[in-house]
A = this chain, B = another copy of it.
Amino acid sequence: MPRAWHLKSRPQGLPTADNFELKTIELPPLEDGMVRVANRWLSVDPYMRGRMNDVKSYVPPFAIDAPMEGGAVGEVVESKAAGLQPGDRVVHMAGWRDEAVLPASAATKLPDLGVEPQAFLGNLGLTGGTAYFGLLDAASAKAGDIVFVSAAAGAVGSAVVQIAKASGMTVIGSARGPAKCDFVRSLGADAVVDYTAGSIVKSLAAAAPDGIDVYFDNVGGDHLDAALALARRNARFAICGMIDAYNSGQPTALRYIMRIIAMRIRLQGFIYTDYLPRMGDFYRDMGGWIASGQVKSRETVVEGLERMPEAFLGLFEGANIGKMLVKL
């Protein structure tokens, strides 16, 4: 019997394993135009925390006692749709489960870019696309800019570091602890900030003595405040995520927000899916960088559907380097 993770209860603050329940599901009959997909790779992403709240946002909240959703790569095992055949690999949003029946229109056949299929959940999917459009469009980053990116050892952050280096920028990445900082350096970062080693403002001032032109925010809180403190004139911030705030429920305290005025700083929030019409640009550039080795994929893989909540909760404990994935 196919199984899917259900939202059992809404978390207050940090989610726990108790918020999830793995249950068998009944799949709809395979009608014309539909495919049955056996999932091979499932994505866990920080934004999913927002869907666990009962708050209307850019994606609807998960419903209690209903299967959860998320990015997935799978293999078509049965098809009543013209364009897809058994054996085709597809990416779709019916994740958090081992098997799905869905309209062919909701599944995208993986383009042949010579990469591992799970890359379409990572550097060629939501992760890489978020990094690419956030850095180059929301933050208008250009060659010569000094870029600061938080959570630089994470999935999106590590893509930002590599895209920025491939585009002729200077990059400072923050990460938790020496091992992750070494990983960020190995991606090409010019400097790193270990945010467990004291004041982020002081560490960033040391790493970027001339200040920063661009900040790619995955974290919010003290990281955002440090970026405000060090921003140069006409700095641009892409606001992608605020993992610090997802679970805390506390207001964000900013000491340096007034510098927005003197430095003419721009903060721009953005959502990856707004850029879907420009995926052609993204596949062209990112595909090229992956082919040339300028962008590499680093994954943290957890095996087995049973361990999916563990993989998800690990995102908030810094358990991953690079993209966190569940392999079935």
Binding site for B on A (CB under 8 A): 50, 57-58, 220, 225, 239-242, 245-246, 251-255, 257-271, 274
Contacts and interface: CB of A to CB of B under 8 A. Distances in A.
Contacts of A260: 239, 267, 269
Contact of A266 (B57, B246, B261, B269): B269
Contacts of A239: 260-261
B257 A245 contact: yes
Contacts of A225: 251
A265 B269 contact: yes
B253 A264 contact: no
A264 B269 contact: yes
Nearest to A264: B269
Contacts of A254: 251-254
16 contacts: A57-B262, A220-B257, A220-B258, A242-B258, A245-B258, A251-B255, A252-B253, A252-B254, A252-B257, A253-B254, A261-B271, A264-B268, A264-B271, A266-B266, A266-B268, A267-B268
A259 B53 CA distance: 14
A261 to B, nearest CB: 4
A264 B220 CA distance: 15
Contacts of A252: 253-255, 257
Contact of A261 (B242, B253, B258, B261): B242
A241 B261 contact: yes
A117 to B, nearest CB: 29
Given A252-B253, A254-B252, A254-B254, A262 B58 contact: yes
Given A251-B253, A253-B251, A240 B261 contact: yes
